Amino acid sequence: MRIWRRAELLRPALEALLAGTDAPARVRGDPVELPHRYQEPRDIEVAGLLCAALAYGRVDLFKPRLSALLDALGPSPGTVAMTARPAELLDRAKGFSYRMTDARDVACLLHGAGAILRAHGTLGSCFTAHYRRLQSVRAALGAFVDELCAPDFRPITGQRGPTRRLKHLLPHPDRGSACKRLNLFLRWMVRGPDGVDFGLWREVPAAELVVPLDTHVHRIGRFIGLTRRKDLSWKTAEDVTRRLRLLDAKDPVRYDFALSHLGISGTCASRKDLRRCAGCPLKPICKYWV
């Protein structure tokens, strides 16, 4: 009963947040803008995988590097991933550097995606096949990561299997990670189309998605009672998602973009702030104000 009563408080506040979010403006400050360059599903998928996998740290730092990388891949990143040899993938990614990620890691991502494209036709066909078989987004995501990491990477790294850095870009849900960036990729591919997400993978129900738990969604989620958990783990992501399903069982992650950008924009402070909190639609349910 307490959960449902809380849901009735959360719903109008989160709906007000959604209504007040200028999605087109926020997209311009989000990595999802970059896959919107493309029309072909395969190109959107490959660009989306790259942009989601590399979306760690500050968006104003990684997004320009991703934009330059996509420029280097040309008009069809899907075709490059599917047809280019490892040496060409390395050459295309030459010069890419962002924190711990370099051209070899990008080439490995493209090599793994290319292997899936050659075997399944699209990344979506691969993921959907695993979802049909396993009937679980978490299990299907694990199988999808296994396929991305299955090719022989020796021509790129000198190592047969995935490097530690590739595993950082493609974490496995069985190891407890929240898999924020991979769940972000799933949100892009499954939800919509709504001007933000693409809605390409129609056979995977949006109802089964797990929230892409970044530091902003986690922090704000704790403020408004979506979770009490303090760790950024898969269990915490499921905890937040379970409560969001009480608000929208068919599309629980529809609030993710607005919640995340409330934090990314700096609108939500980490503490009670009279000026910044004044017009926040979440103020009536925030622990600092109730």
Whole-Å CA distances, 100 to 47, 103, 165, 169: 20, 10, 7, 10
Reported confidence tier of residue 288, pLDDT bands at 50, 70, 90: very high
Reported confidence tier of residue 270, pLDDT bands at 50, 70, 90: confident
Say if residue 3's pLDDT is above 80.
Answer: no
Q: What is the pLDDT of residues 157-180, one digit of tens each?
A: 999 999 999 999 999 999 999 999
Hey, what amino acid is at 107?
A
What does the pLDDT average to over 107-114? 99
Mean pLDDT, the chain, integer:
96
Is pTM beyond 0.85 here? Answer: yes
| Distance in angstroms (rounded) separating the CA atoms of residues 187 and 199 | 8
What does the pLDDT average to over 199-218? 98
Q: What is the pLDDT of residues 209-245, one digit of tens each?
A: 999 999 999 999 999 999 999 999 999 999 999 999 9
The better pLDDT of the pair 213, 6 is held by 213
H-type alpha helices, the chain: 2-19, 23-27, 41-53, 59-73, 77-83, 86-92, 103-120, 123-134, 137-148, 154-157, 164-169, 180-190, 215-223, 234-245, 256-264, 274-277
pLDDT at 4: 54
Reported confidence tier of residue 1, pLDDT bands at 50, 70, 90: very low
| Distance in angstroms (rounded) separating the CA atoms of residues 51 and 261 | 17
Q: What is the pLDDT of residues 51-88, one digit of tens each?
A: 999 999 999 999 999 999 999 999 999 999 999 999 99
Of 29-38, 256-265, 268-277, the one with minimum mean pLDDT is 268-277
Reported confidence tier of residue 269, pLDDT bands at 50, 70, 90: confident
